[in-house]
Structure 1
């Protein structure tokens, strides 16, 4: 692929309402949009890093630094033939997975457009529709939580994920089950808020017939999760602990989890996500596509990866209107039927870019051309 120019745009898009986890509260999404240009085609992606290093070590600022200082110049200098070459090119760089992913995902979009393919087909996806769930943050009251659950169930979402933390765990799960019954698809996401000292409390979650409890223990742990999984009936899902296919292999080998959440940004891109999907499928470990409050470009990439066969649990890719008054793609992501999103059937990510909105939201931008970088 003859990549001649790469553009960055940093935007801040307000959320419709704040979203709280055990990490803290988010009121806007700080995003870097990456545009990779070759001839008449442009590939798009967005970084999922937060402005603060609370989910992992990366931030929006470090992603921008890595892109402009290391990743973009190297890609423009060396060039690639296929998207998988991007991962290989940057394999010597430790971590910085969200920065790598943002550039690699844009290359995948460019590649599929140049070949007249949907991004889903380029990745090996077969599904024409994907099931989706919704993520609910830590609310101010049980009644507020129950009202949100009721609304999302009415919308037909196929999985209800509720954030938990010490002091907001057993009571919200108990209230949901009491109000809506034992059969609604419910899970808890702890975002690393507990330790093995909380084992007995976490085991109380077994009574609620949850699909899973996600990342209850430390963000970099698999050993203690293996100890906890032995004592819990509820499947443990790993998220923050899994950064590569090798991490997934080790976690599966020691039985640290029964489910893995694949976030493309966290694992370094679509190429690594496919490898992780295939490994988990081989070992009968179901996967699902987690969310990072992505705007529309990121949601489009999530839809594409979730069309692969072993994504058997509904992901977090809800409709754009769940989080934003207006999205950065056209048309916005919507439910085609209750709890279902249709996989786009046009080349690339399958959405147009809402440039008028992006122009209003830009806080920084930069452009890198091959001839100017290496003059």
Structure 2
């Protein structure tokens, strides 16, 4: 793979509606779009999914941009690669910074699939022609969250995730269950609880939830194993799983029965697929999480979700869920709760150059 140049775009767009969790409310989203261009002019696209400030992870748009510009891009330019699977081991000389690594690694996978003139989902071994779509409800009040759920059910989403906290959990889930007794429903706590809240969490066993995602500390594995022993509801780990080693530890301790795999959080396709393969062997279920992304990352999530084992609907909604106009064309669409796989090469979308220019804060090109 002969890389001619790389272009970075920092973009910012307002969400159609604010998105709330106990950690805060997101009203606008910054991100990094990566273009990797080969000697023949083919372009692969990736997306850096860190947020503007470190409220969710220690990485930010600013730190990712620095690592990409000053470390990862120069490293890639100094090294010859024949396949994108070589990139993650090469980046191992850089500790953490997984979202910056994933942005570049995913762009190279997209480029590689385009060089083969094959859809990326087929290149990585995907099997599904369609995937089930899930949506996330996050609002400051019970009534507003229930209204969001009504809208998602009307749009055909097959699974709804709701944000919970110690201040808003039992009554929220009870209200949703009253309206939708058969809905595939899960709760995401974003580390809002501690082990002292075990009895409060156990009350949620009454509602037949598919799972509770990351109830305890963002970097905890051990205490989740204690909680899972006390609860009937399956626990899913998200923020705690940043590597294959984390997944091995969690499975060995019995800390979860689900793992949420996010390409950005773990560093790209190579570690994501490794975690998927391990989980499948060990009988732990997996699904693909989201980060309020733009369309490039969403398209990569769709490709990942075609692998066997991703049988639970992920956080993969339509482009119109968050944006008045996305930066890709065609936009991601959901029809009767499902997303059809693109048949074109790579991730199956192109950048909408007009829209990209409108929302860009920074653009810079890096030649070899």
The answer, yes or no, to whether TM exceeds 0.5 is yes
Alignment of 1:252-263 (within 5 A): 252-263=251-262
Q: Match of 2:241, SS?
A: coil
Please name the residue that 1:194 is paired with. 193
In 2, Cα distance between the equivalents of 1:354 and 1:166?
42
Deviation at 1:119, TM superposition (A): 0.8
Determine helix, strand or coil for the equivalent of 1:101. helix
Q: For structure 1, which segment, 161-170 or 225-234, has the greater mean C-alpha deviation from structure 2 after superposition?
A: 161-170
SS in 1 for 2:63: helix
The question of whether the paired residues in 1 share the 8 Å contact of 2:190 and 2:213 is answered with yes
Q: CA deviation at 1:196?
A: 0.3
How far is the alpha carbon of 1:36 from its aligned partner? 0.4
Report the equivalent of 1:107: 108
Q: What value does the CA root-mean-square deviation take over the aligned residues?
A: 0.8
| Alpha-carbon offset, residue 368 of structure 1 | 0.5
State the distance in 2 between where 1:205 and 1:354 align: 44
Counterpart of 1:168? 168
Q: CA deviation at 1:156?
A: 1.0
Q: Distance in 2 between matches of 1:289 and 1:101?
A: 15
Name the CA distance, whole Å, in 1 between partners of 2:95 and 2:126.
Answer: 29
Is the Cα–Cα contact under 8 Å of residues 20 and 140 in structure 2 kept in the other structure? no
Distance in structure 1 (CA, Å) of the matches to 2:180 and 2:4: 55
Q: Give 1:347's aligned residue.
A: 345
- 3-state SS of the aligned residue for 2:69? helix
Counterpart of 1:284? 283
**How many residues are matched?**
367
Q: Which residue does 1:119 correspond to in 2?
A: 120
- Does residue 293 of structure 1 match 2:292? yes
SS, match of residue 341 in structure 1: strand
Q: Which runs of 5+ in 1 are unaligned?
A: 371-375
TM-score, normalised with respect to structure 1: 0.97
CA distance in 2, matches of 1:8, 1:149: 36
Structure 1 distance, partners of 2:28, 2:125, is: 33
Q: Specify the alignment match of 1:326 in structure 2.
A: 325
Deviations 1:144-185 (A, max 9, x none): 22221111111111111000112111110010011221x210
Shift of 1:143: 2.0
The Cα shift of 1:14 comes to 1.0
Q: Which residue of 2 aligns with 1:96?
A: 97
Report the secondary structure of 1:53's partner residue.
coil
Indicate whether 1:270 and 2:269 are aligned: yes
Q: Which residue of 2 aligns with 1:373?
A: none
Cα drift, residue 141 of structure 1: 2.6
Query: In structure 1, how many angstroms separate the alpha carbons of the residues matched to 2:136 and 2:33?
Result: 23
Separation of aligned partners in 1, 2:149 and 2:358: 33
Distance 1:230 1:153 in 2: 32
For 1:172 and 1:74, how far apart are their aligned partners in 2? 49
Q: Deviations over 1:54-100 (max 9, x none)?
A: 21110000000000000000101112110011101111211100000
SS class of match (1:287): strand
SS in 2 for 1:91: helix
Match of 2:365 in 1: 367
User: Deviation string for 1:317-367 (max 9, x for gaps)?
Assistant: 1001110000011111001x3110001111001012111001011111111
Corresponding residue of 1:235? 234
- Distance in 1 between the 2:145 and 2:34 partners? 36
TM-score between the two structures when normalised by the length of structure 2? 0.99
How far, CA to CA, are the matches of 2:37 and 2:350 in structure 1? Answer: 15
Aligned to 1:203: 202
User: Distance between the aligned counterparts of 1:156 and 1:36, measured in 2?
Assistant: 36
Question: Which residue number corresponds to residue 50 of structure 1?
Answer: 51
User: Distance in 2 between the 1:41 and 1:251 partners?
Assistant: 40
Q: Which runs of 4+ in 1 moved over 3 A?
A: none
Deviations 1:280-330 (A, max 9, x none): 111111100000001111110000000000101100110011100000111
Contact 2:134/2:158, CA 8 A, preserved across alignment: yes
